[in-house]
Amino acid sequence: MYSKKNTKNFENIINKINSEKNVEFVIFTGNNISTPNKNELKIFLKKANKLNTPYYIVLGQKDVNLKKHLGKKEYMKTVRKNNRTHFFIKSPNYIFNKKDIIFIVADGSKEVIPTSIGYYKEDVILWLDENLEKYENKNVIIIQHYPIIPPIQKETHYTYKADEYLKLLSEYKNVKAVIAGHFNTNSEKLVNGVLHITTQNAPKYRIIDILDYETKSPTFWSTIKE
């Protein structure tokens, strides 16, 4: 997360990631800025642009708020204008691919009344269903802010109707992992053949290596760094 108070820490993380070998892309798993403010978003993007690799963005509850004049539409418009990776992305729900793996970014944030409770609306679930079927012969990794398998029990942090989402995943064999943030906890849980990974906030970051990605049974090797 970027904020004026932790500018140096954020810049240090960018420099550390740039010093890593063989990093192909970076994912910010939500709560990218401390408050939904367009100017702060622009500064975040300016600093993230110093990464040596492409980067992709997920929305969290701290990123958007219509009452503060930064809704999802304006957020993504600002990202497109100030980011070399997202110039083709118009929605917080989008798809990209790397080495024949399909990455699906699913948005569970709320812009009207942002809370720590995630909600993947019906239209997002339908969109996921369509694309999981479309790419049924490809390995798929889903990226989102709110996990559907929580790493810890926390009354203030959960995903509404997570059972419906899990039911959808059970209908497909191509989903290999779901990577999320939100809990500020590093965790890995294997549920029904899907690896649910959560990541921690700065100053820690996670390096994920995907091995045997060309097979139907890729494996994941994860390293926590700071």
Cα 189 to Cα 54, 60, 138, 148, 168: the distances in Å are 27, 21, 22, 11, 18
Q: To the nearest whole percent, how much of the chain has pLDDT over 70? A: 100
pLDDT at 117 over 90: yes
Average pLDDT over residues 196-209: 92
Per-residue pLDDT of 121-166, as tens digits, reads 999 999 999 999 999 999 999 999 999 999 998 888 889 999 999 9
Average pLDDT over residues 21-33: 96
Per-residue pLDDT of 60-91, as tens digits, reads 999 999 999 999 999 999 999 998 888 889 99
The candidate with the shortest Cα–Cα distance to 180, out of 166, 197, 167, 168, is 197
Model confidence, pTM: 0.96
